[in-house]
């Protein structure tokens, strides 16, 4: 009986450790996608394939490890622009607060 309760405690500890390791990243990922859907980003973007704009995992791959990528993407998301992925422009996303743009930029960079 005693050994069973130790096993149960060990299992609970292992589960808690696994959950606390996994959940912050998983939460940030789900929150980023929800915000992108809510802010209409996903009408022109998909994570996995080009639509009107580039696939967001291609964006993440392009800027992986680049200094200042989060700041650059935050600005670009707010102001829009063209010429990086083609001639089609992204319109300025005036529906966003700067904090939301920063959240979306950080989320995009996790998608590689």
Q: Nearest approach, Cβ of 43 to ligand HEC (angstroms)?
A: 5
Say which residue the tokens 């996903």 belong to: 42
Q: Is 27 annotated as a binding residue?
A: no
Nearer to ligand HEC, 23 or 38 (CB): 38
Nearer to ligand HEC, 27 or 62 (CB): 62
Tokens of 62: 């392009």
Q: How many CA atoms lie within 13 A of 11 on its CB side?
A: 6
Task: List beta partners, residue 76.
Answer: none
Nearer to ligand HEC, 43 or 110 (CB): 43
Q: Nearest approach, Cβ of 56 to ligand HEC (angstroms)?
A: 7
CB atoms under 10 Å from CB of 5, counted, come to 9
Write out the binding residues for heme c. 41, 45, 90
């Amino acid at each position: 009986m005693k050994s069973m309760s130790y096993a149960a405690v060990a299992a609970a500890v292992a589960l808690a450790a696994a959950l606390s390791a996994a959940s912050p990243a998983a939460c940030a990922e789900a929150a980023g996608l929800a915000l992108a859907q809510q802010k209409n980003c996903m009408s022109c973007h998909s994570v996995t394939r080009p639509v009107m704009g580039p696939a967001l995992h291609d964006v993440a791959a392009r800027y992986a490890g680049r200094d200042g990528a989060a700041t650059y993407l935050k600005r670009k998301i707010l102001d829009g622009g063209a010429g990086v992925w083609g001639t089609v422009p992204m319109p300025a996303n005036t529906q966003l607060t700067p904090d939301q743009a920063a959240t979306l930029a950080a989320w995009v960079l996790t998608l590689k």
